[in-house]
Amino acid sequence: MKKHIIDFKIVENRRLHDIYSLLILTPTSGQQLPPIKPGQFVQVAIDNSKTTFLRRPISINFVDYEANQLWLLVRKAGDGTSHLINMKPEESLNIILPLGNGFSIPADKNTRVLLAGGGVGIAPMLYLGQVLKEQGFSPEFLIGARSAKDILQLDILQKIGTVHISTEDGSLGEKGLVTTNTILSQDIDLIYCCGPAPMMKAIANVAKNINAQCEVSLENMMACGVGACLCCVENTVKGNVCVCTEGPVFNINQLTW
């Protein structure tokens, strides 16, 4: 897929939480968004930061082709993302997109798919869920968080499919970790997963136990995002491969977890 460098402007910065913002962007020039697959990501340039100069990889939360808008769900982690979550409408962002491979969509529409996200790992699941639904699947979501207030975009996810929730404090859904949610004891064919590495590894184990296929989205530290610097490698059955080009989505059978 052809990669583009596009100047975007912020249409809206919707603060979802102390440390999460939903940035809704549109190309400044009015040009149409390029084709984007669920699970792909962007590299965002951070201007005027005192401590960062590399771009920040951010997964694509949603693509609204009708409104020509790109949604990025950003979690404040360091100075770069701190700058992003504080951006104001009309401010501009230079973005390289779309990057990476994206999730695979099965041919059989009867495949029972579960989209599991932990924390900001829910980000790519909204667009994936929407695309799956449009293609005739009945996607279900599994969200894990510390507490009810950390569950993001619940209302919009519920419009797409059933949402199963686990919170560590039991304030919403089942009490406990996502990996112990009862949905995982059901007959799931394919689990898509994005979240902290320990969560993805645990989900991958569950998937193996219930004989489900499982794709995980990795977020290794990267510099270029286009396969040039070879910094973001993951050790796979094929040796070290770039997460930015061969991933970020991997079938767990490809990984050495």
Q: What is the contact surface with another protein in residues (CB under 8 A)?
A: 2-5, 45, 51-55, 96, 220-235, 239-240
- What is the Cα 235 distance to its own chain's centre? 21
Q: Which is nearer to another protein, 25 or 232 (CB)?
A: 232
Q: Considering the complex, what minimum distance in angstroms separates the CB of residue 2 from another protein? A: 5
Distance of alpha carbon 172 from alpha carbon 123, whole angstroms: 19
Q: Which is nearer to another protein, 160 or 204 (CB)?
A: 204
Q: Considering the complex, what minimum distance in angstroms separates the CB of residue 239 from another protein? A: 5
Whether residue 39 contacts residue 100, with contact meaning beta carbons closer than 8 Å, is answered with yes
Distance of alpha carbon 221 from alpha carbon 43, whole angstroms: 12
Q: Considering the complex, what minimum distance in angstroms separates the CB of residue 52 from another protein? A: 6
Whether residue 219 contacts residue 57, with contact meaning beta carbons closer than 8 Å, is answered with yes
Q: Strand, helix or coil at 126?
A: helix
Q: Considering the complex, what minimum distance in angstroms separates the CB of residue 190 from another protein? A: 27
- Specify the residue for token string 């910094």: 231
Q: Which is nearer to another protein, 38 or 80 (CB)?
A: 80
Q: Considering the complex, what minimum distance in angstroms separates the CB of residue 233 from another protein? A: 5
Q: Cβ atoms within 10 A of the Cβ of 157, count?
A: 24
Q: Which is nearer to another protein, 150 or 234 (CB)?
A: 234
Q: Which is nearer to another protein, 186 or 235 (CB)?
A: 235
